[in-house]
Amino acid sequence: MRAYNFAAGPAALPTEVMERIRDEWLDWQGNGASVIEVSHRGKPFLRVAEQAEQDLRDLLSIPADYAVLFMQGGASAQFALVPMNLAAPDATVDYLNTGHWSAKAIAEARRYCRVHVAADVGAPYARVPAPSDIAYSGRAEYVHYTPNETIGGVEFADVPETGGVPLVADMSSNILSRPIDVSQYALIYAGAQKNIGPAGLVVVIVRRDLLGRARAGTPTVFDYRAVAAEHSMLNTPPTFAWYAAGLVFQWLKARGGVAAIERQNRAKAQALYAAIDASPFYHNRVAPEARSRMNVVFQLARPELDEEFLRRADAAGLKSLKGHRVAGGMRASLYNSMPAEGVAALVDFMREFERAHA
Ligand SMILES: Cc1ncc(COP(=O)(O)O)c(C=O)c1O
Among 205, 235, 254, the domain boundary falls at 254
Task: Tell me, yes or no, whether 268 and 205 share the same domain.
Answer: no
Domain that holds residue 294: 257-357
Mean pLDDT of the chain: 97
| pLDDT confidence tier of residue 327, bands split at 50, 70 and 90 | confident
Q: For residue 183, how far is the Cα from the chain centroid?
A: 19
What's the confidence (pLDDT) of residue 60?
98
The share of the chain scoring above pLDDT 90, in percent, equals 98
Residues 119 and 184 in one domain: yes
- Sign of the CA dihedral 299, 301, 304, 310? negative
Residue bearing the CA closest to ligand 1, atom 4 = 75
Q: Kindly state whether residue 37 falls inside one of the protein's structural domains.
A: yes
Model confidence pLDDT, tens digit, residues 12-32: 999 999 999 999 999 999 999
6 found inside a domain: no
Measured from the CB, is residue 73 less than 6 Å from ligand 1?
no
Q: By three-state DSSP, how is residue 300 classified? A: strand
Spacing, Cα 261 to ligand 1 middle (Å)? 22
DSSP state of 3: P
CB of 333 sitting under 6 A from ligand 1: no
Does residue 189 sit in the same domain as residue 219? yes
Q: How many CB atoms lie within 10 A of CB 334?
A: 25
Residue 177's pLDDT band (boundaries 50, 70, 90)? Answer: very high
Mutation pick for ligand 1 pocket among 70, 71, 72, 76 (CB with most ligand atoms within 8 Å): 76
Q: From the CA of 61, how far away is ligand 1's center (Å)? A: 24
What is the domain-level CATH number for residue 239? 3.40.640.10
Q: Residue 271: pLDDT above 90?
A: yes
Q: Which of 175-184, 247-256, 323-332 has the lowest mean pLDDT?
A: 323-332
* Closest residue by CA, ligand 1 atom 10: 74
Residue 190 has pLDDT above 90, yes or no: yes
CA of 75 to the centre of ligand 1 (A): 5
Instruction: Please work out, in degrees rounded to the nearest 5, the angle formed at the alpha carbon of residue 18 by the alpha carbons of 292 and 188.
Output: 40
| Residues designated catalytic | 101, 170, 194
Q: Is the pLDDT of residue 328 over 90?
A: no
User: 108: alpha, beta or left, given left = phi > 0 and alpha = psi -120 to 50?
Assistant: alpha
In which element (H, E) is residue 71 found? strand 66-71
Q: pLDDT tens digits, residue range 76-86?
A: 999 999 999 99
Rounded CA gap, 24 and 21, in Å?
5
Per-residue pLDDT at 358 exceeds 90: no
Question: Is 204 found in the same domain as 137?
Answer: yes
Ligand 1 pocket, residue 172 CB under 6 Å: yes
Domain boundary pick from 226, 254, 282:
254
Q: Are residues 160 and 147 in the same domain?
A: yes
* pLDDT of amino acid 217: 96
pLDDT band of 351, cuts 50, 70, 90: very high
Q: Would the pTM count as exceeding 0.85?
A: yes
Domain identity same for 240 and 269? no
Select from 156, 172, 297 the residue to mutate for testing ligand 1; criterion: most ligand atoms less than 8 Å from CB.
172
pLDDT at residue 216, rounded to an integer: 96
- Polymer length in residues for the chain: 358
Is the pLDDT at 156 greater than 90? The verdict is yes
b/e per residue 89-114 (b: at least 16 CB within 10 A)? eebbbbbbbbbbbbbebbebbeebbb
C-beta 198 within 6 A of ligand 1: no
Q: Is the pLDDT confidence value at 65 over 90?
A: yes
Is the CB of residue 71 below 6 angstroms from any atom belonging to ligand 1? no
Backbone angles phi, psi at 219, to 5 degrees: -55, 140
Q: Is the CB of 292 under 6 A from ligand 1?
A: no
- Are 268 and 147 found together in one domain? no
Indicate the SS3 state at residue 331: strand
CATH number at residue 270: 3.90.1150.10
* Residue nearest atom 5 in ligand 1 by C-alpha distance: 75
Question: Are residues 168 and 302 located together in one domain of the fold?
Answer: no
Give the span between the Cα atoms of 182 and 63, in whole angstroms.
Answer: 7
For 9, 194, 230, 283, 295, the CA distances from 174, given in Å and listed in that order, are 12, 8, 28, 23, 9
Ligand 1 center from residue 77 Cα (angstroms): 10
Confidence tier at 114 by pLDDT (50, 70, 90): very high
The whole-angstrom separation of Cα 136 and Cα 159 is: 15
Distance (Å, whole) CA 118 – CA 268: 33
Shared domain check, 247 and 268? no
Ligand 1 pocket member 173 (CB < 6 A): yes
Q: What is the per-residue pLDDT across 124-153, written as a single tens digit (0 to 9) for each?
A: 999 999 999 999 999 999 999 999 999 999
Pocket test for ligand 1, best of 173, 193, 202, 204 (most atoms within 8 A of CB): 173
Task: Tell me if 153 CB under 6 Å of ligand 1.
Answer: no
Q: Give per-residue pLDDT as tens, 40-50.
A: 999 999 999 99
- Residue 258's alpha-carbon distances to 29, 107, 158, 183, 336, in angstroms, are 28, 32, 17, 16, 9
Cβ proximity of 9 and 173 under 8 Å: yes
- Report H helices in the chain: 15-23, 43-60, 74-86, 100-109, 224-229, 239-254, 257-277, 306-315, 340-357
Q: Give the number of domains in the chain.
A: 2
Q: What is the mean pLDDT of residues 46-62?
A: 98
At 67, the pLDDT band (50, 70, 90 cuts) reads very high
Which residue, of 209, 235, 254, is where some domain finishes?
Answer: 254
pLDDT of residue 291: 98
Is residue 74 within 6 Å of ligand 1 at its C-beta?
A: yes
Within 10 A of 64 (CB to CB), how many other CB atoms are there? 7
Compute, in angstroms, the gap from residue 351 CA to the centroid of ligand 1: 32
Gap from CA of 1 to ligand 1 centroid (Å) = 29
Is residue 197 domain-shared with residue 328, that is, in the same domain?
A: no
Whether the per-residue pLDDT at 326 is higher than 90: the answer is no
Q: Kindly give the distance from the C-alpha atom of residue 172 to the centroid of ligand 1, in angstroms, as a whole number.
A: 6
